[in-house]
Amino acid sequence: MEDKIKDLLKDYESRHSEYQIDNFIVAAQGDNWSMYKQALREIASRYESLLSQKEDLELYDLQIKFYWPFGRQAEIKKKRRIRHRAALVESVRETERELGRFVVIATQLKEVLGIVNSEKRKKFEAGSWCQKAIRMSALDLLVNRGISHATMDFILKLSIKDRRKVINMISPAANPDPLKLLGMYEDCIKRSGTAPDR
């Protein structure tokens, strides 16, 4: 039974797959700027975690050198230490793998975004929030045939200029096609995170 479990666990991935990282953590943010910020958040948290995990592993190895019980207790504790150390090593390996994927993504996005100065950052931020409002509106129109209260509340939090831009795109007078709005949203992502010009 134990061998069967060990064999099955070879396929177990305790952390996020590349597909999850790419599509559900980073790409789910929408535009390039939001994806870049999310990748940086993930890098920061995993880098800090990796440093702590490596220190824990080093402390654990030091502790093992100075503590050796005897008899059956020694056998059990040795097995536990071996399993615990293997789990620490696996945690470091998986964190390094995830961290590496986020670094690749952030590097690619950075190439698209270029040098981010304060002016560019403001433009990216405004474009990012506008794109989120467009996406929410398009999904509301597809699912509910109208804009939800929550989406409208979100839109009203945008700056006056950005609010007008989004409302002009989604108002009944504009006869918005939700699929085109989502297509416009996708086009904006390709154009490095800026809001559509109208």
pLDDT tens-place string over residues 140-179: 988 988 899 999 999 999 999 999 988 988 887 777 777 7
Could you tell me which residue, 173 or 139, shows the higher pLDDT?
139
**What's the mean per-residue pLDDT of the chain?**
82
pLDDT for position 84: 84
pLDDT for position 75: 73
Share of the chain above pLDDT 90, in %: 28
pLDDT for position 146: 86
pLDDT for position 48: 93
Query: Over 60: is that where the pLDDT of 187 sits?
Result: no
Average pLDDT over residues 97-121: 91
Q: CA 37 from chain center: how many Å?
A: 9
Share of the chain above pLDDT 70, in %: 88
Average pLDDT over residues 101-115: 92
- Token pair of 128, please? 């990012």
Is pTM beyond 0.85? Reply is no
pLDDT for position 182: 75
Buried b (16+ CB within 10 A) or exposed e, 144-183: eeebeeebbebbeebeeebeebbbebbeeeeebebeebbe
Instruction: Report pLDDT digits (tens) over 62-104.
Output: 776 665 666 777 777 777 888 888 888 999 999 999 999 999 9
Rounded distance between C-alpha atoms, residue 197 and residue 28, angstroms: 23
pLDDT for position 86: 87
Model confidence band, residue 185 (pLDDT cutoffs 50, 70, 90): low
Query: Over 90: is that where the pLDDT of 11 sits?
Result: no
Model confidence band, residue 30 (pLDDT cutoffs 50, 70, 90): confident
Could you tell me which residue, 142 or 10, shows the higher pLDDT?
142
Q: Is 77 exposed, middle or buried (0-12, 13-18, 19+ CB in 10 A)?
A: middle
- Token pair of 75, please? 């056998």
